[in-house]
A = this chain, B = another copy of it.
Amino acid sequence: MRPRRRETAKTGANEHAARSLRYRNLVNPFEPTRIFSDDQVENIHLTALGMLERQGMRILSPRGRAALAAAGARVDESTQMVYVEPGMVAQALQTVPSEVEIAARNPARSCRVGGRHVVFAPVAGPPSVSDLKGGKRTGTIEEFRNFVRLSQAFDVIHVLGQMVEPQDVPMAERHLETSLAQLTLGDKAPYFYCRGAAQLADCFAMARIAHGIDEETFRNRPVCYTICNTNSPLQLDVPMTDGIVEFASNGQLVIVTPFTLAGAMAPITIAGALTLAHAEALLGITLTQVVRPGTPVMYGSFTSNVDMKSGSPAFGTPEYTKAAFGAGQLARRIGVPWRCSSATASNAPDAQSAYESQMSLWGALLGGCHFILHSAGWLEGGLTASYEKFILDVEMLQMFAEIFQPVPTSADDLGVEAVVEAGIGGHFFATAHTMQRYRDAFYAPLVSDWRNYGAWSDDGSKTATDRAGAVSHATLAAFQPPAMDPAVSEALRDFVARRRSEGGALPVS
């Protein structure tokens, strides 16, 4: 299309915007890939149920034990052990919504969880951040805000998150500052950490202010999400258990995720790690429904393996991909929407980080995953949020979003007349068929450089990682926060100021 470069450039921005809008609501058209037969899935499910019934699970929170006991679980208070019968799990599974809408304060950013919908969430949890220019450093609230801006800026990221731990903010105030950043710099659904009921009360209050809704409306409209990790094997700590109780009683989305590293905190076999994870997830899901039937909940899976040489966790490995396929089958067996992750053990935003993350993504997406956490920015086994990696990941996510789009096959799409017009051995650059479509025919990449070697080397031989860094800078420089009623913004800031003056709320451990 060389002769028309000028025209293409002129229309490019609009075409990209129209294409990007399609990324907001993704539907996965592919049949899930399977590694297990139905019988094998059933066997794992029954084995996990047997584990919950006979071996039980230690629930460190008295509130959690009380709720489960009230619903019929056998509880030994002296050991904090809870034993759940299969019938109680089955009953709980009956009330789990198979699909739910997470309402964002901008309705255009609301998203659906379950069915064939796919939600991409950014990285969560790293204590550090890094970029090529500044290297690795401790997370701050300004870095947190930057990652909110990046998450907000790309349509293919559907919800916000806890992208980095802002260690320049006192612990009792972090939940206030991270909630404020998510609710004012973004208009997508936020992620609130479960670090005790007092913090969650603040977060939920801020969400209600941002949405302008009362408590009853809030309890019937999921507007935020959280991750509750079990402490494998077979243990659930106080903040996670109480988080499940708080989110469930407020009708907000809980994602129960056992983090099972095969060979470390789970059996060394994939099937064994999945069985243990399944048991733990079943217990957490059961708790949500015991607290409040109909609570939106997801089956979280995060099964990987350790490096048997160093003991370090590994991600995006072949075992990881297979475990994802298997976890998807287990989630479908119980009819609960499924959350998986994109991850890498790489210390640099390099080729390893790309191939490991993509292995994770294919495992999740071909496995039929509904919600992919850590899908942008994860580096170093989750210890660092990387600016370059964030952009490289967005490129990969956008590619998946494009792969999900249908391929039209009308008579005109088959292009017989274009072949006639081009002629034997001719070219298609100027055919009517091409001219009608060239503006929006193909995905226009964010990072990928498709120029020839000469043009690329004349321009400094920049690697994809270099270019991703430039994209992150440009995105942040151009960022405009989404519209918000000034009164709402002021109410949020007033709330934060008041709670800070009251000392905030320390995390519970």
Which chain A residues have a beta carbon within 8 Å of chain B's beta carbons? 1-2, 5, 8-9, 12, 29-31, 33-36, 40, 43-44, 47, 50-51, 55, 57-58, 81, 136, 231, 233-235, 262-273, 275-276, 305-314, 317-319, 321-322, 326, 345-356, 358-359, 362, 366, 380-381, 383-384, 392, 395-396, 399-400, 402-403, 405-409, 411, 413-416, 418-420, 422-429, 431, 433-434, 437-439, 441-445, 447-453, 455-457, 461, 463-465, 468
Contact = CB atoms under 8 A, between A and B. Distances in A.
Contact of A420 (B2, B55, B306, B356): B55
Given A263-B438, A318-B403, A408-B271, A347 B461 contact: yes
A119 B441 CA distance: 32
A449 B392 CA distance: 19
Given A317-B442, A351-B468, A356-B448, 4 more contacts: A31-B33, A40-B409, A51-B416, A268-B438
Task: Name which of A406, A448, A455, A468 has the most chain B CB atoms within 10 A of its CB.
Answer: A448
A380 B457 CA distance: 12
Contacts of A35: 29, 406-407
Given A263-B1, A414-B47, A433-B272, A346 B464 contact: yes
A293 B396 CA distance: 45
Given A33-B366, A346-B449, A355-B358, A272 B47 contact: no
List 6 A-B pairs, minimum CB-CB distance, nearest first: A272-B415, A267-B415, A318-B402, A352-B464, A351-B354, A350-B463
Contacts of A405: 318
Contacts of A362: 358, 362, 366
A1 B268 CA distance: 11
A414 B271 contact: yes
Contact of A345 (B267, B383, B448): B448
Given A33-B366, A408-B271, A419 B464 contact: no
Given A270-B407, A347-B457, A428 B308 contact: no
B30 A403 contact: no
A397 to B, nearest CB: 11
A266 B456 CA distance: 26
Given A31-B31, A271-B415, A319-B442, A347 B449 contact: yes
Given A326-B407, A424-B235, A441 B263 contact: yes
Contact of A267 (B264, B359, B419): B419
A264 to B, nearest CB: 6
Nearest to A401: B318
B351 A307 contact: no
A172 to B, nearest CB: 28
Contact of A449 (B352, B400, B416, B427): B352
B40 A443 contact: no
B347 A456 contact: yes
A1 B309 contact: yes
Contacts of A275: 414-416
B355 A396 contact: yes
B355 A392 contact: yes
A434 B409 CA distance: 52
A464 to B, nearest CB: 4
A426 to B, nearest CB: 7
Contact of A350 (B429, B433, B464): B464
A231 to B, nearest CB: 6
A161 B120 CA distance: 40
Nearest to A323: B407
Contacts of A444: 308-309
Contact of A233 (B40, B424, B448): B424
A123 to B, nearest CB: 16
Given A51-B416, A414-B275, A309 B44 contact: no
Given A314-B450, A424-B234, A448-B356, A413 B346 contact: no
A405 B409 CA distance: 36
Given A318-B443, A396-B355, A465-B350, A233 B419 contact: yes
